[in-house]
A and B are shown apart, each in its own frame.
Chain A
Amino acid sequence: MTDIALQTRGLGVKYGTFHALAEVDLQIRRNSVHSIIGPNGAGKTTLFHALTGRVRASSGRIELDGRDITDTSDDDRVRLGIARSFQVTSLFPNLVLRENLRLAAQGRTPWQALAPWRRAESNAEALAIADEVIQRLELGPVVNRLAGELSHGQQRRLEVGMAMAARPRVILLDEPTSGMGIDDIEAMKQLIRDLGRDHTVLFIEHNMGIVMNISDVVTVMRLGRKLVEGTPAQVRDDPEVQRAYLGNMITGDIA
């Protein structure tokens, strides 16, 4: 196996006639934490949509472990090992937390769920995975609450949990800390760092503190294109990057 888990070549996405993404070449190293930053509207979320198959690439190709997945459907990509969280929380609000995670764990083997006589509880593995994620995210006290009734911080953690429950090899997190309190942010930072040990983590983040702290590689995007890529230190000192952020200082310590 190569060292590259996920790779794109000349990836482009069009919304109508608008090029939201153009000529993006990415190489995501296995078991690394790779972050994507860039100003609003840079195309970061669109990149995730393309990688997970939610939107079709209008040009270029995507390879997972060297295998072309450009035309693979979104649900098939989950089975190949790609899972994601959303920037705008996307849960099953009227189902309880544990059921949300059980479904996410079941999604890896959806054909089983087509049998209308099989009980959900018969999939012990999915339940075990759900419970493991609950523990890891410290959501134990609220497992039987409706997802829609959880606090914002809990919902954001569950959002990340939904991606973890699919047991992916590549995990895509879209602004996992958005709107979180300071304690939650610290916990999320630890979690992402941990995930990076045995997963390939690709994550979008506006909080430069976290990005500079835990990333192995940082890609900066602007206007749908890749602007700069490098280690946190290289990116932070790049004059182009400074300009792209229009004076918004990039701060944060490098671990």
Chain B
Amino acid sequence: MNPLDKPWAQLALALLTVLILPLFLKSGILATEILIFAMVVAACNLLLGYTGLLSFGQGIFFGIGTYAAGICLTRWSVPVPLVLAGAAVLGAATATLVGWLSIRRQGVYFVMLTLAFSQLFYFIAYTFSGLTGGDNGLLGVPRPSIGGTALDAPWSYYTYVAVCFVAVFALLVMVTQSTFGRTLLAIRENEGRAAAIGFPTRLFKIEAFAISGAVTAFGGALHAMLIGVAPLSNIEYHTSELILIMTIIGGSSSLFGSVLGAGFYLLLADALSTVWPRWLLLLGLVLVTVALFLQRGLWGLVERGYDLAFRRERAPETPAEEH
């Protein structure tokens, strides 16, 4: 195993990211958005990389978190920590339902089901405009405040989100290292065998969905507070796609890969969109390149770079260390 894949290394890299972003970025909004998507993408990775489930439903949970924050904060001014916890619980519950129904089918049909749910929830949000604001979304979502001062400045909200991000990332690292996470890997590798040695594999997949949904909704709530709106676009199918693309670009073999994927995508989109209005075309090319030449994503590139720099003679994949 590459030393960079060890849990402490992953955690250290996440911390480093939090510290480095303010040094290189002018926009606190962009930096905050990167951290929010980083946790959401890592949650998607728990499904894709660790459980082998390609879920097109992540936008549902993101949107649910967004609306939870939007509704609770604009109508009843519920305390923010409570809103975040509530969003996570709601996300977990929705993901349990979506997961429970979707994993009844495998492969393409599973993916189709998550896609169908994604459409379904979008139309629900669109239809119940009394609650969700429909096309306009919910406007005027306030930022949290600490000790009476609102965190209105972008970089102060960044700090708030950074603390959340590190905590969530640490939790996800713990999950992947746990006996639960290792069982997920076994299910991804060979579900039939996992069942034959006694694991109720469906239950494990549903729990992976629940955890993923909780984190994604949590991120969605933070996002609503970031942009001050709970928009319909957050629950759109496009958001699901975005999250998946970031996961794949980052590489699904490590959680920190997801941070890279989110950062890379958002920074590139930011840079390209100022250069050329048709920047999505270039993004398409980047994706093609990743799919063709970088199948382990950016993280695979990092691992290779590390091997070249620090482990001269490439040991032929020595998994000699214990994990």
Using CB atoms and an 8 Å cutoff, list the residues of chain A in contact with chain B.
52, 54, 73-75, 78-79, 83-84, 86, 90-96, 99, 103-104, 106-108, 110, 112-120, 122-123, 144-146, 162, 165-166
Residue B177 CB within 8 A of the other chain: yes
Say which residue of A92, A116, A120 sits within 8 Å of B174 (CB atoms): A116
Greatest chain B CB density within 10 A among A108, A113, A115, A117 is at A113
Which B residues touch A103, using CB under 8 A?
182-183, 186, 194, 197, 199
A144 to B317, CA, bound (A): 12
The residue on B at minimum CB distance from A85 is: B196
Say which residue of A84, A112, A116 sits within 8 Å of B181 (CB atoms): A116
B246 to A: closest C-beta gap in Å:
23
Say which residue of A90, A94, A117 sits within 8 Å of B178 (CB atoms): A117
Q: Which of B100-108, B151-159, B203-211 contacts A (4 or more CB under 8 A)?
A: B203-211
User: If A90-B190, A94-B189, A162-B193 touch, does A114 touch B198 (CB 8 Å cutoff)?
Assistant: no
The residue on B at minimum CB distance from A105 is: B197
For B141-167 the 0/1 string (1 means CB < 8 A from A) is 000000000000000000000000000
Which A residues touch B179, using CB under 8 A?
106, 112-113, 115, 118-120, 122-123
For B168-203 the 0/1 string (1 means CB < 8 A from A) is 000000110111111101100110111111111101
The 18 listed contacts between A and B (C-beta, < 8 Å) are A54-B192, A75-B199, A75-B201, A90-B192, A92-B185, A96-B319, A99-B182, A104-B197, A106-B179, A107-B199, A113-B183, A115-B179, A118-B178, A118-B179, A120-B182, A144-B320, A144-B321, A144-B322
User: If A92-B190, A117-B174 touch, does A166 touch B198 (CB 8 Å cutoff)?
Assistant: yes
The residue on B at minimum CB distance from A109 is: B198
A165 to B196, CA, bound (A): 12
Which A residues touch B182, using CB under 8 A?
99, 103, 120
Which B residues touch A104, using CB under 8 A?
197
The residue on B at minimum CB distance from A94 is: B189
A52 to B195, CA, bound (A): 10
Say which residue of A52, A116, A120 sits within 8 Å of B196 (CB atoms): A52
The answer to whether B198 and A79 touch across the interface, beta carbons within 8 angstroms, is yes
